[in-house]
Amino acid sequence: MSLYLEMPEWDNILPFRAFENEGEVVVEPHWHKEIEMIYVTKGLVNIGYDNQLFQVQEGEIFIFGSGESHYFLASPGSTRIVYQFDLAVFQTTSVNQFNQKKITSLFEQAENFSRFWGKELEDEMRSILEKLFEEVQQKETGYEYAIMRFLYQLLMLYYRDIPQKSKTLKEGNFVESTHQKQTLERLNDVFIYIENHFQEVITLEDVAKYVGFSPYYFSRFFKKNTGQNFSQFLTEYRLNQAKYILSHENIPMIEVAERSGFNSVKTFHHVFKEHMGISPLKYHKTIYGNN
């Protein structure tokens, strides 16, 4: 099975989401720069990670650090809540503006499986995750602040209580086998550049120069490690921006196109319909009208 890059679509102003899925499902090997937590609420889920298969049972939690490849084999009748968040969510306060690498290392070095934390700590994390999901479901006034509150409680557990891994990752793990952290760091530089400039004209040559690669090498590097060529990735990123705007704001299509990085309404309409199967206007009426 090939490895691919997943790009979560955020459904609020924070780079955070939580959703429930159920039943028998197979999720192919993938990775993303976001932290992911799997909380099994019924049945069991087999999780492939670090060249091993872990059987995560009801009430247990499994957590993936940034860039750690994984896959799922969920059993029939099982349910689980999936949490994903970008570590940039903690940059909302000055205390963490210069602490990003330290936070990243917390998740890299911590024990992934709650079975090895101890019951009291597992119960505490489970309580935080349940409250987080409740806030996402209910979306009461100020729920974004409640989400940040619980995310900071979660982060505190990582600083103070969650034990470190008893061993380093086996050779063959995606991040470790591709020049360890260097690959993810370079890709993260690319993602940050896109996040800051997607509304502008971006060329492959611009990004290659930014990360210190030749255009030819960058093109091969990006395709190898994301499963997409750069133009596909950029288009998908801009489409995700457009979908968020269309589902949350009632503004002219020309403004949607500009804010999501498309150079004209005509191009925006063509690309959106090609990828989504419907026009941006129809998507807006369908999604925005149901919010």
What integer best gives the mean pLDDT of the chain?
84
Please report which confidence band the pLDDT of residue 24 belongs to, taking 50, 70 and 90 as the band edges: low
Using CA atoms, how far apart are residues 238 and 224, in angstroms rounded to an integer? 21
| Pick from 209, 125, 204, 112: nearest CA to 163 | 112
Contacts of 227 (CB under 8 A, 6+ apart): 2, 3, 4, 5
pLDDT attached to residue 180: 46
pLDDT digits (tens, 9 = 90+) for 163-174: 998 765 444 444
Using CA atoms, how far apart are residues 275 and 54, in angstroms rounded to an integer? 36
Query: Which domains are present in the chain?
Result: 4-160 (2.60.120.10), 176-288 (1.10.10.60)
DSSP for 102-129? HHHHHHHHB-SBGGGT-HHHHHHHHHHH
pLDDT attached to residue 27: 74
pLDDT attached to residue 57: 92
Q: What percent of the chain has pLDDT over 90?
A: 48
pLDDT beyond 80 at 154: yes
Using CA atoms, how far apart are residues 126 and 16, in angstroms rounded to an integer? 17
Task: Lowest mean pLDDT of 41-50, 90-99, 230-239, name the range.
Answer: 90-99
In this predicted model, which residue has the larger pLDDT, 52 or 1?
A: 52
Q: What percent of the chain has pLDDT over 70?
A: 86
Q: What is the token pair recorded at 103?
A: 């936070």
pLDDT attached to residue 32: 82
pLDDT beyond 60 at 5: yes
pLDDT beyond 60 at 140: yes
User: Which range scores top for mean pLDDT: 13-17, 70-74, 152-156?
Assistant: 152-156
pLDDT attached to residue 290: 58
Radius of gyration of the chain, Cα coordinates, nearest whole angstrom: 20
pLDDT beyond 60 at 2: no
Order of strands, sheet of 52-57, starting from the edge strand that comes earlier in the sequence: 4-5, 25-31, 70-74, 44-49, 52-57
In this predicted model, which residue has the larger pLDDT, 289 or 71?
A: 71
pLDDT beyond 70 at 208: yes
pLDDT digits (tens, 9 = 90+) for 76-130: 788 999 999 988 888 755 444 446 557 878 888 899 999 999 999 999 999 999 9
pLDDT beyond 60 at 179: no
